[in-house]
Structure 1
Amino acid sequence: MQHQLLSVLIVLTVYAASLGAANVHGICTPQDLKGLTGFKAGIRLDTSGRLEKWVGLKCCEWEGISCDNATGRVTEIRLPGFISTSDDVYQSEIRGWLSPSITLLSSLEVIDLGGLMNLAGTIPPSIGFCLQKLRKVYLYGNQISGMLPESIGKLWRLEELLLYENKLSGSLPPSLGNLRNLNAMIMYSNQFSGTVPDSFTNLTGLVHLDLHNNSFIGAIPEKIGQLHNMKELDLSNNFLGGRIPLSITNLTAISVLYLDTNNLDGEIPSPSRLDQMPSLSFLRLHNNQLTGEISPNFANLISLQRVSLAHNRLKGSIPSSLGALSALTELYLDDNHLSGIIPESMGQLSQLLILSISNNMIRGPLPQEMSSLFNLQIINLSFNQFNFSSIPQWLLRLPSLSQIYMAGCGIQGEIPESLKIMPSPIQELDLSGNHLTGNLPSWLGTLTQLYLLNLSRNSLVADVPESITKLNALGVLDLHSNKLTGNVGQVFKMEQRFPQGPLTYIDLSDNRFTEGIEQIGIGAECGVQSLNLSCNFLSGRLPTTIKMCSSLKSLDLSKNNLGFNLPDALANLSSLEVLKLQRNRFTGSIPEGFLKLSKLRDLNLSNNLLVGQIPAGKPLANFPGSSFSGNTGLCGKPLNPCKR
């Protein structure tokens, strides 16, 4: 018996020595070589050029391969899609199939094939039986399909499983509940379906669970609160329903909790003690159907920094206890049924950067205590029941405030001149839907850091001041539905002055402008993507210089007095998706070049004086007769056939 044991030990020693010797020379074991060459055989294209260097027998020297120095066995395959160089980071692509031969690499600990975009195939069903040393699996950002294998539960050493942005389907296997040592599991942006299994509650070592952007249905498991080591939980962007389990407040290590964009209902569970969820910093519950009031106990979440409860059905008042959340930097309560007034304690949130409570039923006045919010950068009070009459002057003196949204707040009178002397230069201003009167002041041109200006749906009059051409940072200009007159050319002069500027959106519709159409596109190429001049009194010819606005995606000149032929230059707007020219006085035929507008999805040329045959072919053939009606001289599909 002793002789036999000695013989076995000698054989094992020789075998181990041979493996070590093989590793010294970088030579693969036959089994590993077969596994790697089988993987390479499944790939048709590798834009990084890494796989074409996989030649010979020394696989431990191949790029992306690591081996154990003692055994010579392959332990890591690292071929990530994102490759860092000294100058840049770029994404490579692999096209082909994930070969089952990868399961021959029985000592494999790390698989990193993430972000390769077009790696297809399925996860081998035997992965859990053959690769029991796996600690990390990164297959995210590919085209992997099929189901998550049942054998995945055999990977007892698994720490990280990243399968997001694939095409995986089916239910999560119950065997996942056996992964007691799993440290991180990230499986988001797949096409998983089925319910979230209760077996997840067996993952007592789970630290990070991310299933967002999938198609899960059913309720969140009631026992989820037993995952005491969970630090990050993301179940957002699914179809989960029912109530949020009360046990969720037992997640004492949780710091990130994202349950947003589901169909969750019922009340928000709130911890009854300070030792429940003491580390929760980031909470997203928006885009659900949550009801009830915000409990005063919500303030027991003492570490909260960012909170979003927006787009739900919450009612009642904002509890004054929220003033105790001393670490709070962002608070989103938009689109609920909240009422009452903003509590004075809100002024205690000294770290607050963003306060957004639009689209509720909150009444004024704003508490004077909010004047101590020295770090506040963004405030959105739009569409409540404030009826301010004027903007509180202390608000305009807040030292960090740069974005103000007060649409539909009952503000009256002229645009307040104090906006130009704010301590922090204003970047975004939305005073739409109020009762503003008077002119657009010439001092608007001093707001040189202004990116968004929305003064629509007021009663502003007179011309657009020339000083507006100095707004070199302006990206969005919305003045629609006022009583502005004169020349729209001032706006296009701004585009000419700053041809490389950020201006992409212009809406001057529903005013009383009469001239300036000839200024469109004059000078260097413009970057405007959306232009709406509809419902004015513009006349004249649409200039051929419009071709300079090659980035245009939406052009609406409807309901004016524009005439003459449609310029062939419109056919140069290859990015155009929306073209509305109805109710003008355009004459002549529809240019044949309109057939080049391949991205066009919304077209209206009705009620003009157009004649001749509608050019045959797509995209014009895709539109109904209503797109061309009211032009008595037009014929051809989709209208009546032309007479011969």
Structure 2
Amino acid sequence: METSSSAQCLIVSMDLHSNILTGHIPERIGEMQVLEKLDLSENLLTGKIPLSLANLNSISELYLDTNHLEGEIPFPSSFGQLSSLGFLRLDDNHLTGRIPASFGNMVSLQRVSLANNKFEGVIPSSLGNLSALKELYLSGNLLSGQIPESVGQLSQLIMFNVSHNQIQGPLPHELSSLENLQTLDLSFNHLNLISFPQWLAELPSLSRIYCARCGIQGEIPDFLQATPSPIQELDLSSNHLTGSLPAWLGRLTQLYKLNFSRNSLVSRIPVSVRNLQYLGVLDLHSNKLTGPINNVFQIGNAFSDGSLTYIDLSDNYFSTGIIQAGVGSQTGIQYLNLSHNFLGGRITTTIGRLKSLQTLDLSCNKLGFNLPEALANVSSLEKLKLQKNHFTGRIPVGFLKLKRLKELDLSDNLLAGEIPAGKPLTDFPQSSYSGNKGLCGKPLSPCKVRGLLLVEEPLKPC
């Protein structure tokens, strides 16, 4: 990549994102004094960030993200450099070193993303000088130490993401001054909060809370039912939560995403969840939840608009519910995982109404009877996992219509007969069908033929 000395004085905006540019960013790029926007993101650029970028006194937008850049951040090297820079993206590279303390001198910064690099050390307290800052993304690095108290001075901040680092607790109480904060992600650090901070839930604008694997213990705190701003997304997964799913969950009427997975919750799903009209993502997997799960699919018939798209209730102790009734009305579901439960009975034909379904995992349950022919109507299906159940009979010929199917597992059932010949069924490995004593045909052994009659191997008793 090279710059032209004859044209550089005329270029105010250079946008070359999403190409296949290779090589280094040229050092002479700093001579483009009138440049206000530079976007080289989503390319294959390598090497270090040129020091000369600090000379771009007019630049307000700098996007170098999603490349293969390495080394440290070289700017600003002195006070006053890049004083007009408002939007900076360096995420998804291989940058190393510390976040420079001089970052606090770029007082026009409004949005900064340094995520998914290899930055280490502490978050510099000088970031508290960035009075115009609205969004700060530091996730996916090796940052350590505590969140500096000065972050509480960022009165305009609406997004703060430090997830997937090595940040330690305690949280500074100064964060309670962030009156405009809407999204806070502290997940996957070394905070060891023990309890969920009540002052955090009292932030007047906070509606998206992510505190996965923060060491939180005890029951789901009751004060979350009456936050000043309605909760839209709540992730308390991978903690040490115990007790029940509270009935007041149904009062979070603006809730779109709820993730309590990987905890030790013991209860039924409360009837009140039927009030969650905007729920789109429900993840409760890997708990000790019991009883029927019909409530999930009877939420006031609120999902006729397809808002519920992702459901994971796997690795619990559910016994009855969705398989027998209700599932067909939730036509917007794209991901449904009920594996590793105790669900029994048959899958009814209403399953065929899930026209948007891409992943269906009902493995490791006690489901039986024939595989429903109606599954052939789910043309969007890409992953189907029904292994380790008690399904009997033949594989429906209609399954040949599942042209998008990329992963199939029907192993360890009681299926019999010849596997329907043709794509995609014959393209899957033997492991997709193993453990069914009566199955034959490609990719398994050929069915035995006596004269012109196909003879299936008899099922052996369990």
TM bracket (short chain): over 0.9
Equivalence for 1:367: 172
- 1:495–1:544 Cα change, 3 Å: farther
Give how far 1:526 is off. 2.3
* Greater shift in the superposed pair: 458-467 or 522-531: 522-531
Equivalence for 2:244: 439
Matched, 1:564 2:369: yes
Matched, 1:217 2:15: no
Matched, 1:307 2:112: yes
Structure 1: distance between partners of 2:324 and 2:241: 28
Give how far 1:523 is off. 6.2
Query: Could you say what secondary structure the match of 2:174 adopts?
Result: helix
- 1:202–1:308 Cα change, 3 Å: same
Give how far 1:254 is off. 0.2
Give how far 1:521 is off. 4.2
In structure 2, which of residues 136, 140, 155 is the aligned counterpart of residue 350 of structure 1?
Answer: 155
Equivalence for 1:515: 320
In structure 2, which of residues 384, 394, 415 is the aligned counterpart of residue 589 of structure 1?
Answer: 394
Q: How does 1:169-180 map to 2 (within 5 A)?
A: none
Structure 2: distance between partners of 1:232 and 1:522: 50
In structure 2, which of residues 8, 20, 34 is the aligned counterpart of residue 229 of structure 1?
Answer: 34
Matched, 1:620 2:425: yes
Please list every run of 5 or more consecutive structure 2 residues that lacks an aligned counterpart in the other structure: 450-462
Aligned length: 449
Query: Could you say what secondary structure the match of 2:392 adopts?
Result: strand
Give how far 1:496 is off. 3.7
Structure 1: distance between partners of 2:436 and 2:366: 15
The TM-score with structure 1 as length reference comes to 0.69
Query: Could you say what secondary structure the match of 1:304 adopts?
Result: coil
Structure 2: distance between partners of 1:289 and 1:524: 46
Alignment root-mean-square deviation, CA: 1.3
State the AA in 1 paired with 2:419: I
Matched, 1:387 2:208: no
CA offsets 1:40-60 (integer angstroms, 9 cap, x no match): xxxxxxxxxxxxxxxxxxxxx
State the AA in 2 paired with 1:372: S
Equivalence for 2:203: 398
State the AA in 1 paired with 2:305: Q
Q: How does 1:213-362 map to 2 (within 5 A)?
A: 213-362=18-167
Q: How does 1:98-137 map to 2 (within 5 A)?
A: none
- 1:197–1:359 Cα change, 3 Å: same
- 1:245–1:520 Cα change, 3 Å: farther
The TM-score with structure 2 as length reference comes to 0.95
State the AA in 1 paired with 2:108: S
Q: How much identity, in percent, do the aligned residues show? A: 63
- 1:246–1:497 Cα change, 3 Å: closer
State the AA in 1 paired with 2:140: D
- Asked if structure 2 preserves the Cα contact closer than 8 Å seen for 1:486 and 1:512, the reply is yes
State the AA in 2 paired with 1:484: L
Larger radius of gyration: 1
Structure 2: distance between partners of 1:524 and 1:582: 25
State the AA in 1 paired with 2:441: G
- 1:504–1:200 Cα change, 3 Å: farther
* Greater shift in the superposed pair: 582-591 or 203-212: 203-212
Give how far 1:462 is off. 1.6
Structure 2: distance between partners of 1:624 and 1:251: 58
Equivalence for 2:307: 502
- Asked if structure 1 preserves the Cα contact closer than 8 Å seen for 2:278 and 2:302, the reply is no
In structure 2, which of residues 428, 438, 446 is the aligned counterpart of residue 641 of structure 1?
Answer: 446
Give how far 1:518 is off. 3.5
Give how far 1:494 is off. 1.9
Matched, 1:207 2:41: no
- Asked if structure 2 preserves the Cα contact closer than 8 Å seen for 1:536 and 1:560, the reply is yes
Structure 2: distance between partners of 1:215 and 1:404: 37
Structure 2: distance between partners of 1:522 and 1:361: 42
**Highest RCO, 1 vs 2 (Cα 8 Å, sep ≥ 6):** 2
Structure 2: distance between partners of 1:524 and 1:355: 38
In structure 2, which of residues 219, 230, 235 is the aligned counterpart of residue 414 of structure 1?
Answer: 219
Please list every run of 5 or more consecutive structure 1 residues that lacks an aligned counterpart in the other structure: 1-195
Equivalence for 1:50: none
Query: Could you say what secondary structure the match of 1:242 adopts?
Result: coil
